[in-house]
A and B are shown apart, each in its own frame.
Chain A
Amino acid sequence: MAESKPQPKVKKKAVPMPKQPPEVRRHNFNEVALGYTEEQALEEASRCLQCPKPQCVSGCPVEIDIPAFIKLLREGKYEEAIRKIKEKNSLPAICGRVCPQEEQCQKMCVLGKVGDPVSIGRLERFLADWERARGFTIPEKAPPTGKRVAVIGAGPAGLTVAADLAKLGHEVVIFEALHLPGGVLVYGIPEFRLPKSIVQAEVDYIRKLGVELKLGYLIGRTYTIPELLKERGFDAVFIGTGAGLPQFLGVPGENLGGIYSANEFLIRVNLMKAYAFPEYDTPIRIGRRVAVIGGGNVAMDAARSALRLGAEQVYIVYRRSREEMPARKEEIENAEEEGVIFKLLTNPTRFIGDEKGWVKQMECICMELGPPDESGRRRPVPIKGSEFLMDVDTVIIAIGRTPNPIIQRTTEGLAVTKWGTIVADENGRTSLEGVYAGGDIVTGEATVISAMGAGKRAARAIHEYLMSKK
Chain B
Amino acid sequence: MYEILRVEELAPKIKLFEVYAPEIAEKARPGQFIIVIINEKGERVPLTIAGYDAKKGSITFVFNEVGKTTRQLGLLKKGESIWNITGPLGNPSEIRNFGKVLCVAGGVMIAPMLLQVKALQEAGNTVVTVMGARIKELLFFKDEMRALSHRLYVATDDGSEGFKGLDFLKEVLAEEKFDRCVAMGPVPMLQRVCELTKPYKIPTVVTLMPIMVDGMGMCGVCRVSVGGQMKFGCVDGPEFDGHLVDFDQLIKRQRMYLPEERLSALLWELGGCGCGGE
Tell me if B55 counts as interface (CB < 8 A to partner A): no
Tell me if B125 counts as interface (CB < 8 A to partner A): no
Q: Would you call A221 and B27 a contact (CB within 8 A)? A: yes
Prevailing SS type, chain A contact patch? loop
**Chain B residues near A260 (CB, 8 Å)?**
221
**Chain A residues near B217 (CB, 8 Å)?**
244-245, 404-406
Q: If A255-B225, A281-B264, A283-B264 touch, does A272 touch B218 (CB 8 Å cutoff)?
A: no
The proximity string for B residues 221-243 relative to A, scoring 1 for CB distances below 8 Å and 0 otherwise, is: 10101000010100100000000
Tell me if A267 counts as interface (CB < 8 A to partner B): yes
Q: Would you call B219 and A279 a contact (CB within 8 A)? A: no
Tell me if A388 counts as interface (CB < 8 A to partner B): no
Q: If A179-B86, A248-B230 touch, does A277 touch B264 (CB 8 Å cutoff)?
A: yes
Tell me if A285 counts as interface (CB < 8 A to partner B): yes
A177–B216 CA distance with the chains assembled, in angstroms = 8
Q: If A257-B253, A283-B264 touch, does A248 touch B220 (CB 8 Å cutoff)?
A: yes
**Chain B residues near A222 (CB, 8 Å)?**
23-24, 27, 86-88
Instruction: Report B274 CB to chain A, min CB distance, Å.
Output: 8
Give B237-278 interface residues, CB cut-off 8 Å to A.
Answer: 249, 252-253, 255-257, 260-261, 263-264, 267-268
The proximity string for B residues 19-36 relative to A, scoring 1 for CB distances below 8 Å and 0 otherwise, is: 000011001000000010
**Chain A residues near B213 (CB, 8 Å)?**
264, 267-268, 272, 282
Q: Would you call B264 and A244 a contact (CB within 8 A)? A: no
Instruction: Report A240 CB to chain B, min CB distance, Å.
Output: 15
Q: Would you call B43 and A261 a contact (CB within 8 A)? A: no
Instruction: Report A172 CB to chain B, min CB distance, Å.
Output: 19
Question: Chain B: how many interface residues by the 8 Å CB criterion?
Answer: 43
The winner among B41, B89, B218, B256 for most chain A CB atoms within 10 A is B218
A273–B42 CA distance with the chains assembled, in angstroms = 10
A47–B89 CA distance with the chains assembled, in angstroms = 54
Tell me if B44 counts as interface (CB < 8 A to partner A): yes
Complex: chain A residue closest to B222, CB-CB? A264
Give A300-340 interface residues, CB cut-off 8 Å to B.
Answer: none
Give B88-110 interface residues, CB cut-off 8 Å to A.
Answer: 88-89
Q: Would you call A272 and B256 a contact (CB within 8 A)? A: no
Q: Would you call B264 and A264 a contact (CB within 8 A)? A: no
A267–B219 CA distance with the chains assembled, in angstroms = 7
Tell me if B84 counts as interface (CB < 8 A to partner A): yes
A277–B262 CA distance with the chains assembled, in angstroms = 13
Give A198-250 interface residues, CB cut-off 8 Å to B.
Answer: 215-218, 221-223, 244-246, 248, 250
**Chain B residues near A187 (CB, 8 Å)?**
214, 218
Give B172-221 interface residues, CB cut-off 8 Å to A.
Answer: 213-214, 216-221
Give B36-71 interface residues, CB cut-off 8 Å to A.
Answer: 37, 41-44, 68-69
A179–B216 CA distance with the chains assembled, in angstroms = 12
Tell me if B85 counts as interface (CB < 8 A to partner A): yes
Tell me if A280 counts as interface (CB < 8 A to partner B): yes
**Chain B residues near A248 (CB, 8 Å)?**
220, 223, 230
**Chain A residues near B218 (CB, 8 Å)?**
187, 244-246, 263, 267, 404
Task: Pull 29 A–B residue pairs with CB atoms less than 8 Å apart, ordered by A.
Answer: A177-B216, A178-B214, A179-B37, A215-B84, A216-B84, A217-B86, A218-B216, A221-B87, A222-B23, A223-B23, A245-B232, A248-B220, A255-B230, A255-B253, A257-B256, A261-B220, A261-B221, A264-B220, A267-B213, A267-B214, A267-B219, A272-B213, A278-B268, A280-B43, A281-B42, A282-B43, A283-B261, A285-B256, A285-B257
A interface with B by C-beta (< 8 Å): 177-179, 187, 215-218, 221-223, 244-246, 248, 250, 254-255, 257-258, 260-261, 263-264, 267-268, 272-273, 277-283, 285, 356-357, 404-406
Given contacts A281-B41, A282-B44, A283-B264, 12 further A-B contacts (CB under 8 A): A178-B214, A218-B216, A222-B24, A223-B27, A245-B220, A267-B214, A267-B219, A268-B219, A273-B41, A281-B68, A285-B257, A357-B252
